[in-house]
Chains A and B, each alone.
Chain A
Amino acid sequence: MDRVTTATHCPYCALQCGMSLGAPAADHPGIPVVGGRDFPTNRGGLCKKGWTSAEVLGTPGRVTRPLLRGADGRLAESDWDTVLDLIADRLRASRREHGADSVAVFGGGGLTNEKAYQLGKFARLALGTSRIDYNGRFCMSSAAAAGNRAFGVDRGLPFPVTDLDDADTVLILGSNVAATMPPFVAHLAGVRERGGLIIVDPRRSATAALTDDGAGIHLQPTPGSDLVLLLGLLHLVIAEDLVDHDYLAERTSGWEGVRRSTAPWWPEAVQARTGVPVEQLRAVARRLARGRGTFILTGRGVEQHVDGTDTATAAINLALALGLVGRPGSGYGTMTGQGNGQGGREHGQKCDQLPGYRSISNPAAREHVAAVWGVDAATIPGPGVPAIRLLRELGEPGGVRCLLVHGSNVVVSAPDAAAVRTALERLDLLVVCDFVLSETAALADVVIPVPQWAEEEGTMTSLEGRVLRRRRALDAPDGVRSELWILRELAARLDAPSVWSTEPSVVFDELARASAGGLADYSGLSHELLDTGVAAYWPYPTGSTGTPRLFLDRFAHDDGRARLVPVRARAADDPAQRDGVLTLITGRLLEHYQSGAQTRRVPELQDAQPIARLQIHPATADRLGIADEAPVEISTTRGTVRCVSQLSADIRHDTVFLPFHYAGAESANLLTEGAVDPISGMPEFKRTTVTVRPVGGVR
C-alpha cells in the first residue's frame, strides 16, 4: 500500500487526539513517524504516550502467529485452520454438553465500533450465549447508569470538549486529566485564567496542581466520601438559595425528594465526614452558582466505588439544581477513559444491551435488531451478567467453561486479580485475541494475533460522542488476521445464521442500520461520510447532521424531563489508621495506559516509569518507619504487593496511591476486592483498606 501520510487518531485514551502517521524514517523501519494533527480535542498536541505510540508496532513481543498450548504446557506457533477448527470444536462441544451459557465473551473498550458490534452479534448468534460483558464495566458503568437514570441516555460529554474553553467554572471530581489525557488541559486554560478550576482529589495530582496561583481551588477529601461532599454542596446551594427554580420546574422531576435528601448534610457534618473544611465548601458552592458558565465533570475517582452510581447521580443532581444541563455553555459530563469507551458501550458488548444502546429485554428492540440480522428475535438470548459476576462464574459448577477475551488484560485490570487468575486456570478453554503476549494471553490455551490500530480501518467514538475514523497506515505483519475475519471464520464453523462481513465499512453500515431508532443512532453515518471530515456527534439519524449538544430541548425520558433521584450516603466505616492500616486508591500515571500491556513495551515510557511506586505522605511514612525509595509491602486478605515507596506531601495522610499498570507482584489489583455497585456492577477500586509496612523491618 502507499506510504503517504495517514490521518488517524491516537490508539490510547478517549480524547482520541488527531494524529498523522507518516512514512517510517530510514533508521527506524516499520515504525511510522507520528505527528500531531490539528483536531479540536488536541489542536496538534500529543502526550508522551501518543508520540511514542508507534513503537508498539515493532515491539519484539508482538504475536504474529496463532499460538496453541501444547501437551508440554507451552504455547507454540500453530496455523490458522488448526486453531480455528480447535476453537470451534471445543465451543460446540461445550455448548452441547453444558449449554450455551457455558461459553462467554469478554470484550474491551479499546475495540473499534465495528469490532465491538460484531463481537456482540457473534456472542448472541454464533455462540447463542447471554454471557458477554467487557472491561468498560470497570470504567464507565457507574456514570452510564447514572446518566441513563437521570437523562434517559448516556453520552459521556453531551457537548463538545471545546465548550469548556469559555467556561467560567469547571468542577472536576476524581479525574487526573493532566496525567491521563494531557492535551485536554489546554481546554482548561480559560477557566484557570478566570480562577474557576475546582479539582476534587485525595491527592494533589498534576491536575489539582493546576489550581495553584489563584487558578482555582483544590478540595482534598478522604477517599470514598465524594457522595457526602456532593450532598453537602447541594445543601449549601439550597441554603443560599442558589437554585435555578424555573429550570427545575420546567425541565426536571423529582426535586422535592432530592431537596429533602440533602437535609442531613449541613456543612459541618460534611466537614466531619470528608475532611474538607466548611469555608472551602462554601467557596465552591458559591463559585458554582456564579453565572451560567459552569461545568461539572466526573471521573473514575468518584465512580469506581460501590456507591459510584449514586455518587455520579449526586453530581448530576447538583448540576440540575443549578440549571446547568441542556444549556449551551454549561453542563454535566463524565470523562470516558478508554479509546472507544463510549462506542464500546453502545453497540452490544454490554450484557444487557443490543446495538444503538438498546435494551436486550425490550421486545421492540429485539425485533428491530433481529430484522437487521435476519434472524428470529426469539433466537437472541436474554440479558447476561455484568463483568464481575461473569468472572466469578468462570470454572464454577454450572458456570462458564470456555472464555474468549478480546482487547482486555483481565488478570491485571480486574479487581482481586489473584482470584481472577485462579478462575481462568479452571476453564476448559481460554482464547485470547491480542497483538502482544499480555499477562492474560500468557495464560491462554490459544492466542490469536490481531492487528494494531495503525494496521486497521474502523471507527471510534470519542469522549464527546463524536464518531471518528481510524485509518490504516501500514499492513499488519504476515500471519496476523483481523477480528472481523476471525469472527467470520468461527461463525462459519459454528453454522451461525446472518452475514459476517470482514470489511469494516460494510460492518459499519450494518451497525448503522441496527442502531437506527435507538438512543445511540448512527444510521445517518458511513465511513464515506466520515471521510469528508464531518463533525459527527450522535445521535446522527438518517437525514440529520448530528447532535453536538444534547438536551437543548428535551431529555430522553418519555416526558422530556430530567429525573432527579434522591441518593443517600452509606454509614461511615473507615478503619482506624494504626499500625500501618491505610486507605489505598489506585490510578494511572502519565507514561502508562491501563494494564500497561502496550506502554510497558515502549522503552521511553518504561524507562521513565519502570516500576510500581507507592505514593505515601512523609509524615505517615515516618510513623511507619518507611524511607523514600525503600521496599514496602502492601497487603489485604486477598493478596500482597511488593514495591518501592515514593514519599510525597501531595497525598493525604490517611491514603496511599498505587498505579495499576504493573503486573506480577506489583499488580495493584491483587489488593482490590470484588465488591460491586448494586446498580452498575462497578467494582470498588478506589477505597481499599490495606496494611503497609516496610520490608526488612522498621528502620
Chain B
Amino acid sequence: MRIVLIGYGPVGARFVEEVLPLVREGRARLTVVGAEEHEPYNRVLLAEYAVGRADRERLELGDAEAAREAGVVIRLGQRVQGIDRTRQLVRLGDGTTVPYDRLVFATGARANIPTLAGLERPRIGRAAARADAALDGHSAGLPDGVVVLRDLADADTVRAAVRERRRVIVLGAGVLGMEFALAAREQGAEVVTVYHGDAPMERNLDAGGGRMLAAAARAAGVIMTSHSRAESVVLSTSDDGHRHFDALLCADGKQIDGDLLVLSCGVAPRVELADRAGLAVSTGILVDEELRSWSDPDVYAIGDCAHIATPVAATDQRGGGSTVAPGQHPRVTGAPSGLIGPGWRQAAWLAGVFAAELRAGERPALLPAERRPVVMLKAEGVSVCAAGELGADPWASEPGVEVTQWVDPARGRYATMTTRDGVLTGFVCAGLPRLAAELTLLFERGSELPPDRSALLALDGSAPGHGALRSASPDDVVCSCNGVTGRAISHAIACGSATVREVGSATRAGTGCGGCRDRIVALLDQAAESVADVLPAPVG
C-alpha cells in the first residue's frame, strides 16, 4: 500500500511514527511531504521557544532519522502543487509526481491575519497554487516588526525581540496570545496586550474567570488594554526602503507604540489544496467519523485541517462517483478542535485502520466523539483552567442544574462548577491549581461531584492533609511502627515509666524507626510538669 502524507507537523509526525511498523514489515510504503524545511517540531511549545524559555531541541518530535532508515521517503521544503485524484498522483513543486493508494492530509492550520489598515491581507486565491506559500507565516508579506506566531521562522523573529527586551504588542487575548504575553513578560520584555472585549479569553472563560486572569496578568506586569478595537498599523520606512512597525492605532484614537506586533487572532485550517483537488471542504476538510473524505474514499484528513461531520448525502461513497458535490459546504456545523490531543488520537487511530487492512486484523473501534476540550493556560505562576459550559446562572432554577461559585479576588482565587444531575458539565478555575487539576479529571471522565462542594475547595487549603483542622487527640498514634497511641504512652508514664527506654519497654513506642522519640520526651516532660504542679515547691 502506497501512502502519501501531506504535512509533517506534530500530527503528521505522530502518524509517521504509528505507521512505521507497517513500513518496516514491508506492508506499506510511505512518502511524507512537508512544506517547512525543518524536521517536525512541537507547535504547542512554540511560544516558549519564542520567548527563549525552550530551546530548539525540546521542540523536536518524532524521529525522522529512524523513519528514513525504515524506508520512509521524507520530502522537506516541498509544497504539493496539485492532486490528480483520477490517476491517484500527487504533484510536487519540483515537478515530480508521487503515486498513492491512500492520501492523508495533515496540513494543519494557519494564523489569521486581521484586517488592519497598513497590513496587506493576502487574499485566499482558489486558483493560484502559489497562494499557499503566500498565505503562510513569515512569508505572508507582512511588514517588518509584524508577525504571527505559527512556525519556527516567526518564532525566531519574536525570540530576537524578546531577548533584546523590546516593547512587544500582542493583538488578541485568546489562550495563545495570553500564554505568549505572560511568557514574554516573564523573560523581561515589555508587553502590551490589546483586545477588544471586556476580559481576556472570552471564548473560554466566564466573566469572573476573565477578570481573575486580567488581574493576574497585570500583577505579572503585562499591560492589559481592554475594549480596544485595532484599526491600523503605523509603519516607518527605513533608508533601504523597508517598512517597519511603529505603533498600533485603535478605533478610539489610542496609539500604542511598540517594536514588535504579534498577531494572535486565531487560526484557520489549511483547506486550499483539498479544495482545488475537488474535495468537500467547509471550515476544514470534510471527513466522516472514519476520517475519510466525503468526496473520495482513498483520501483522509487528520488534525487541525480535519473537519469531522456526518456527510449530508451519506449514500455509497465507495462506488467510484461521489454523490457529494465538490466545493464548499459552508453550512456544515462544527470545526476542527484546534488542539493537539485529538489530532494525535486521530493519527494513531488511522494508522490502526491501515494496519488492520494490511495485516487482515481487526479494525479499531471508532474513535469516541471528543469531549469539549479542557483549556488550560500554560503560564508559570498563573493557574487558569476551564472547560465545558460557561455562564450558567447560579440563581436560575433549571431542574437538575446546579452552579457553585467561590469568589475571592483578594487572593486571586475563583471557581465556578456547573453540574447537570450531579455530573460536572463545566467549570472555570483560577488560582486554585489542585482544584483545577481534579476538576479536569472529573470533567474528562464525566464524573459526579460530591454533594459537599467545599470538600473540593479544601484541596487547595493550606493545611497538609487537613491536619490543622483536627486538634491533637490522645488517641492519635504517636509511634506508627508499633501503633502506640499517646494515651497508651501516658498510661505507661502514669504507671512509672520515667524514660524513653522505659516507655519503650512498656509499650514498644519508639522501638521501630525511632522517629517518635521527641514526642515521647514531650509526653514525659508534660507528665513531669503536671506532677510538679501538684507537689509542694521545694523549700530553700
Q: Is the CB of B437 within 8 A of A275?
A: yes
How close is A273's CB to chain B, nearest CB, in angstroms? 8
Q: Are the CB atoms of B445 and A268 closer together than 8 Å?
A: no
Known: A622-B451, A653-B450, A654-B447. A257 touches B63 (CB 8 A): yes
| A617 neighbours in B (Cβ, 8 Å) | 450, 455
B508 — which chain A residues lie within 8 A by C-beta?
48, 51
User: For residue A267, which residues in chain B have a CB less than 8 angstroms away from its CB?
Assistant: 378
Out of B376, B441, B514, which one reaches A574, CB within 8 Å?
A: B441
**CB within 8 Å for A260 and B61 given contacts A272-B444, A277-B433, A578-B423:** yes
Interface of chain A residues 35 through 58 with chain B (CB within 8 A) = 36, 43-48, 51
Q: Which residues of B contact A209 (CB under 8 A)?
A: 465
Q: Is B437 within 8 A of A276, CB to CB?
A: yes
Q: Among residues 39 to 98 in chain B, which have CB atoms less than 8 Å away from a CB atom of chain A? A: 42, 44-45, 48, 53-55, 57-63, 66
Return A183 CB to nearest CB of chain B, in Å: 5
> B197 at interface (Cβ–Cβ under 8 A)?
no
B456-506: which have CB < 8 Å to A?
456, 458, 464-467, 480-483
Question: Are the C-beta atoms of B452 and A263 separated by less than 8 Å?
Answer: no
Please indicate the chain B residues that have their CB under 8 angstroms from the CB of A212 in the complex.
464-465, 467
User: Given the complex of chains A and B, what is the CA–CA distance between A620 and B455 in angstroms?
Assistant: 10
Would you call B102 an interface residue if the criterion is a C-beta within 8 Å of the partner chain's C-beta atoms?
no
Give the residues in chain B near A572, CB-CB below 8 Å: 444
Q: Which residues of chain B come closer than 8 Å to A578, judged between CB atoms?
A: 422-423, 446-448
Query: Mask for A385-419, Cβ within 8 A of B = 1, else 0?
Result: 00000000000000000000000000000000000
Q: In the complex, what residues of A have CB within 8 A of residue B27's CB?
A: none
Interface contact B442-A577, CB-CB below 8 Å: yes
| A269 vs chain B, min Cβ distance (A) | 8
For chain A, residues 222 to 266, give those with C-beta under 8 angstroms from any C-beta of chain B.
222, 238-239, 241, 256-257, 259-260, 263-264, 266
Q: Does A619 contact B (CB under 8 A)?
A: yes
Which listed residue (A186, A218, A239) contacts B515, Cβ 8 A?
A186
Q: Which residue in chain B gives the minimum CB-CB distance to A45?
A: B512
B374 at the binding interface (Cβ < 8 Å): yes
Given contacts A51-B511, A183-B512, contact A590 B480 (CB under 8 A): yes
Decide yes or no whether B165 CB sits under 8 A from chain A.
no
Q: Which residues of A contact B377 (CB under 8 A)?
A: 268
Task: Chain A residues near B376: list those with CB within 8 A.
Answer: 268, 271-272
B345 near A185 (CB under 8 angstroms)?
A: no
Residue in B closest to A241 when the chains form the complex, CB atoms: B55
1/0 per residue A614-655: CB within 8 Å of B? Answer: 000111101100000000000000000000000001100110
Q: A591 near B: Cβ within 8 Å? A: yes
* Neighbour of A184 across the interface among B442, B448, B482, B513, CB < 8 A: B513
Closest CB in chain B relative to A74 CB, distance in Å? 38
Identity of the chain A residue whose Cβ is nearest the Cβ of B423 in the assembled complex: A578
**In the assembled complex, A292 has its CB within 8 A of some CB on chain B:** no
Report whether A239 and B378 are in contact in the complex, using a CB–CB cutoff of 8 Å: no
A527 part of interface (Cβ distance < 8 Å): no
B66 to chain A, nearest CB (A): 8
Quick check: is A279 within 8 A (CB to CB) of the other chain? Answer: yes
- CB-defined contacts of A183 to chain B, threshold 8 Å: 481, 512-513
CA distance A655 to B71 in the complex (A): 46
Residues of B in contact with A, size category: 35 or more
Q: Does B436 contact A (CB under 8 A)?
A: yes
- Contact A211 B464, beta carbon cutoff 8 Å: yes
B450 A623 Cβ-Cβ under 8 A = yes
Taking a contact as CB atoms under 8 Å apart, the answer to whether B450 and A619 are in contact is yes
Contacts of B433 in A (CB 8 A): 271, 277-280
Question: Do residues B455 and A618 form an inter-chain contact, with CB atoms below 8 A?
Answer: yes
Which chain B residues border A650 with CB–CB below 8 Å?
A: 465
Chain B residues contacting A575 (CB-CB under 8 Å) are 445
B202: Cβ under 8 A from any A Cβ: no
Selected contact of A263 from candidates B61, B383, B438, CB within 8 Å: B61
Name the one of B55, B340, B452, B481 contacting A619, with C-beta atoms under 8 angstroms: B452
Query: Cβ of A577 and Cβ of B445 under 8 Å apart?
Result: yes
Cβ contact of B440, chosen from A271, A577, A590, A618, cutoff 8 A:
A271
Q: Which of chain A's residues has its CB closest to B468's CB?
A: A212
Given A271-B437, A275-B438, are A185 and B513 also a contact pair (CB < 8 Å)?
Answer: yes
Scoring B residues 417 to 455 as 1 if CB is less than 8 Å from chain A, else 0, what string do you get? 000001100000000011011101110111111111001
By the criterion CB–CB under 8 Å, are A45 and B511 in contact?
Answer: yes
| A178 contacts chain B at the CB level, 8 A cutoff | yes
Chain A residues closer than 8 Å to B466, beta-carbon distance? 649
Which residues from chain A contact B458 at a C-beta distance below 8 Å? 649
Choose from B436, B446, B449 the contact partner of A277 (Cβ within 8 Å): B436
* B515 contacts A185, C-beta separation under 8 Å: yes
Is the beta-carbon distance between A46 and B511 smaller than 8 angstroms?
Answer: yes
B481 lies within 8 A of A590 (CB): yes
A620 engages B450 (CB within 8 Å): yes
Which of chain A's residues have a CB closer than 8 A to the CB of B480? 178-179, 182, 206, 590
B438: nearest residue on chain A (CB-CB)? A275
Asked if A571 is at the interface of the complex by the 8 Å CB criterion, the answer is: yes
Assess whether A45 is in contact with B481, with CB atoms less than 8 Å apart. yes
- From B55, B62, B452, B482, give the contact of A260 (CB < 8 A): B62
Choice from B374, B456, B482, B514 contacting A272 with Cβ under 8 Å: B374
Q: How far is the CA of A276 from the CA of B344 in the complex (A)?
A: 22
User: Taking the complex as formed, is B380 at the interface, i.e. its CB lies under 8 A from any CB of chain A?
Assistant: yes
Q: Please give me the residue from chain B that is nearest to A591 by CB atom.
A: B483
Using CB atoms, name the residue of chain A closest to B375.
Answer: A268
Question: What are the residues of chain B within 8 A of A649 when measuring CB–CB?
Answer: 455, 458, 465-466
Task: Report B293 CB to chain A, min CB distance, Å.
Answer: 25
CB closest residue in chain B, given A209:
B465
- Mark out the residues of chain A between 183 and 234 whose CB falls within 8 Å of any chain B CB in the assembled complex: 183-186, 189, 204, 206, 208-209, 211-213, 218, 222
Residues of the B chain whose Cβ atoms lie less than 8 Å from the Cβ of A257: 63, 66
Smallest CB gap from B469: residue in A: A649
Question: What 0/1 readout, one digit per residue, does chain B (377-403) give for beta carbons within 8 Å of chain A?
Answer: 110110100000000000000000000
8 A Cβ contacts from A7-52 to B: 36, 43-48, 51
Q: Is the CB of B434 within 8 A of A608?
A: no
User: Given the known A-B contacts A218-B464, A241-B55, A578-B423, are A186 and B442 also in contact in the complex, defined by CB atoms under 8 Å?
Assistant: no
Beta-carbon nearest neighbor of B441 in chain A: A275
Cβ contact within 8 Å between B512 and A577: no
A218 to B466, CA, bound (A): 13
Given A36-B511, A45-B481, A51-B508, A279-B383 contact (CB < 8 Å): yes
Quote the shortest CB–CB distance from A143 to chain B (angstroms): 24
Pairwise interchain contact A182-B447, C-beta atoms closer than 8 A: no
Taking CB atoms, residues of chain A closer than 8 Å to B63 are 256-257, 260
B392: min CB distance to chain A, Å: 20
Shortest Cβ gap from B466 to chain A (Å): 5
Q: Which of B441, B452, B455, B513 has the most CB atoms of chain A within a 10 A radius of its CB?
A: B513
Residues in B with CB closer than 8 Å to A189 are 515
Tell me, rounded to whole Å, the shortest Cβ–Cβ distance linking A212 to chain B.
5
Chain B residues whose C-beta falls within 8 Å of the C-beta of A275 in the assembled complex: 437-438, 440-441
Query: Which residues in B have their C-beta under 8 angstroms from that of A204?
Result: 464-465
Determine whether A576 belongs to the interface, using a CB cutoff of 8 Å to chain B: yes
- Which A residue sits closest to B376, measured CB to CB? A268
Which B residues touch A327, using CB under 8 A? none
- Least CB distance from A566 to B in Å reads 9
**Which residues in B have their C-beta under 8 angstroms from that of A280?**
433
Q: How far is the CB of B182 from chain A (nearest CB, A)?
A: 13
Could you say which residues of chain B place their CB within 8 Å of the CB of A274? 437
Return 29 A-B CB contacts under 8 Å, by A number. A45-B511, A46-B512, A51-B508, A184-B513, A189-B515, A212-B464, A218-B464, A239-B48, A241-B55, A257-B63, A260-B60, A266-B45, A268-B376, A272-B376, A272-B444, A274-B437, A275-B441, A278-B383, A577-B442, A577-B445, A578-B422, A578-B447, A579-B448, A618-B455, A619-B456, A649-B465, A649-B466, A654-B441, A654-B445
Besides A48-B482, A271-B436, A623-B448, 15 new A-B residue pairs in contact (Cβ under 8 A), listed by A number? A36-B511, A43-B514, A51-B511, A182-B480, A208-B465, A238-B57, A239-B53, A264-B340, A272-B437, A279-B381, A574-B445, A577-B442, A619-B450, A623-B450, A654-B447
